[in-house]
């Protein structure tokens, strides 16, 4: 089956990741929006990409949402480097999002509209590649 990824965003997913398809993209974002502030980001790995010799994925896609501001952040990492979404406005010099209580900081100007987050999640799950619907930036320090 094409277009599948595994997602981790709740503590209970540590033993069994959630499998998502492109049709599940909105439900995943909605679950993050409805969840606790300590669980407002998901880590996704495409099941369409090869793994490293170690058995670990060769990439990582992070999706965070802020339910109050209706914005989110994205990060994509693979052998070509690390990039984060590029938004049009920044706040607090940087922002934090959480996977199962574990904090990840993002640079200022990395938050984008929720609708764009949804499109990017769907594109990533469909292709296994860094979404092209988003502008990206290389973080200065990360």
Is 93 a domain residue?
yes
Q: Give me the mean pLDDT over the 78-98 stretch.
A: 86
Count structural domains, the chain: 1
Residue 4 tokens, joined: 């599948």
**pLDDT at 140 (0 to 100):** 77
Is 123 a domain residue?
yes
Backbone angle region of 93, left / alpha / beta, with phi > 0 → left and psi within -120 to 50 → alpha: left
Q: Give me the mean pLDDT over the 106-121 stretch.
A: 94
pTM (2 decimals)?
0.93
Residue 122 tokens, joined: 């769907």
Nearest of 84, 93, 86, 88 to residue 41 by alpha carbon: 84
pLDDT band at 108 (very low <50, low <70, confident <90, very high): confident
**pLDDT at 59 (0 to 100):** 95
Is 142 a domain residue?
no
**pLDDT at 32 (0 to 100):** 96
Q: What is the pLDDT of residues 67-83, one digit of tens each?
A: 999 999 999 999 999 99
Is 104 a domain residue?
yes
19 DSSP β-pair partners: 6
Is 128 a domain residue?
yes
Q: How far apart are CA 129 and CA 126, in angstroms?
A: 8
- For residue 16, what are the domain limits? 5-137
Q: What is the pLDDT of residues 22-46, one digit of tens each?
A: 999 999 999 999 999 999 999 999 9
pLDDT band at 1 (very low <50, low <70, confident <90, very high): very low
Is 47 a domain residue?
yes
Percent of the chain residues topping a pLDDT of 90:
78
Residue 139: CB atoms within 10 Å: 15
- 3-state SS of 71-127? EEEEEEEECCEEEEECCCCCCCCEEEEEECCEEEEEECCCCEEHHHHHHHHHHHHHH
State the alpha helices, DSSP H only, in the chain: 25-34, 114-127
Residue 15 tokens, joined: 């033993």
């Amino acid at each position: 089956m094409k277009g599948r990824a595994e997602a981790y965003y709740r503590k209970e997913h540590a033993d069994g990741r959630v499998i998502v398809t492109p049709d599940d993209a909105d439900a995943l974002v909605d679950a993050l929006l409805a969840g606790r502030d300590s669980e407002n980001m998901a880590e996704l790995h495409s099941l369409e990409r090869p793994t490293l010799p170690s058995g670990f994925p060769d990439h990582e896609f992070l999706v965070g949402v802020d339910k109050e501001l209706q914005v989110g952040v994205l990060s994509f990492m693979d052998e070509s480097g690390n990039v984060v979404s590029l938004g049009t406005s920044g706040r607090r010099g940087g922002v934090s999002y959480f996977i199962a209580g574990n904090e990840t900081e993002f640079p200022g100007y990395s938050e984008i509209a929720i609708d764009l987050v949804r499109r990017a999640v769907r594109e990533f799950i469909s292709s296994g590649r860094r979404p092209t619907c988003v502008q990206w930036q290389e973080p200065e320090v990360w």
